[in-house]
Amino acid sequence: MALLQTIPGLGHMLAAVVWSEIGDLARFDSAGALLNHTGLVPSSWDSGEVSIHGSITRQGPGWLRGALITAANALTRSKSPLGKRYGHLRGCRKHPHVAKAAVAGSVARCVYGVLKHGAPFQSERWGRRACKLGQ
C-alpha cells in the first residue's frame, strides 16, 4: 500500500480501499483490463458503420470506482501531472464530471503500473494525449 500512496490523490485510506478492491493483480492482463473492471470506460453501441459512445459503464465494484473518483476530486486543484490533465480536459470544454471520470481512469492506469512494476509513481514518466476539439 505504500507504493499506492506515491500516486497523487491517493492517501492511506483510499490506497487501502483500492488495494482491497483490486485483489490479485494477475487477474488483469493490462491496464485497460483493470480500467474496464472499474467501470470507468465509456459504454459503446455498434451497428454496421455506426459507433456511439455513451456514459461510463459503472460495472464492477462501486467502492473501487468511488475511491478513484474521490482521488480525482482531490487532483482537480493540484499541480501534479494528473491535476494538469484535468485542467487540460476542462480547457477542451469537457464537462467537469466527464473530466473527473477521465482522470480517475488515469489514476487506475497508474495504480496498475505501480503495482505491476513494484516502483513508486514517477511524474516525469507521465504523458498526456492531445484532446480533440469539438467533442
Q: What is the count of structural domains for the chain?
A: 1
Asked if the structure places residue 131 within a domain, the reply is: no
Residue 51 lies in a domain: yes
Range of the domain at 74: 4-120
With respect to residue 109, please indicate whether it lies within any of the assigned structural domains. Answer: yes
Confirm whether pTM is higher than 0.95.
no
pLDDT for res 125 = 74
Q: Comparing C-alpha atoms, which of 98, 120, 114, 118 is closest to residue 31? A: 114
By the 8 A CB rule, do 114 and 121 touch?
yes
**Amino acid 127: pLDDT:** 60
pLDDT of residue 1: 87
Instruction: Quote the pLDDT of residue 90.
Output: 94
Q: What is the pLDDT of residue 122?
A: 87
Looking at residue 134, what is its pLDDT? 46
- Domain assignment present for 66: yes
* Residue 27 within a domain: yes
Which residues of the chain carry a pLDDT beneath 50? 128, 130, 133-135
Domain contains 126: no
Q: Is residue 134 part of a domain?
A: no
- Does 79 fall in a domain? yes
